[in-house]
């Protein structure tokens, strides 16, 4: 949908981009009973590649600042995925590949 909208609105000099956030520690999360970014990260450990396994609001906010600025004037139809690697569906091995192949 982002690409379609970007193509359609380009004639009006309107850029269309999308931000796909992963788990982000916010006040709403805190209201649900998760008290810290570390506690939220523990819930996602093993599913997300990059520690601390849960992002901060600034991680998403800076992407919006970039897209709203003239620095992104030549960018349209993009999906920015800011999820610490969650969407890569990669599994995090407990051992490195070298140790696994030695057996």
Segment 43-102, tens digit of pLDDT? 888 778 788 888 999 999 999 999 999 999 999 999 999 998 888 866 555 555 566 566
Q: What is the mean pLDDT of residues 7-23?
A: 96
How many distinct helices (H) and strands (E) make up the chain? 5, 4
86 contacts 75 by C-beta, under 8 angstroms: no
Comparing 50 with 103, the larger pLDDT belongs to: 50
Distances (CA, A) of 29 to 19, 33, 51, 62, 82: 19, 7, 18, 20, 18
What pLDDT sits at residue 97?
Answer: 57
What pLDDT sits at residue 85?
Answer: 86
């Amino acid at each position: 949908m982002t690409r379609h909208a970007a193509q359609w609105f380009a004639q009006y000099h309107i850029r269309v981009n999308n931000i796909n956030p992963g788990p982000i520690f916010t006040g709403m999360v805190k209201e649900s009973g998760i008290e810290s970014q570390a506690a939220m990260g523990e819930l996602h450990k093993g599913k997300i590649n990059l520690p601390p396994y849960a992002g901060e609001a600034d991680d998403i906010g800076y992407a919006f600042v970039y897209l709203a600025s003239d620095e992104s004037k030549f960018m349209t139809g993009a999906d920015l995925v800011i999820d610490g690697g969650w969407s890569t569906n990669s599994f995090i091995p407990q051992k490195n590949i070298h140790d696994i192949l030695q057996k």
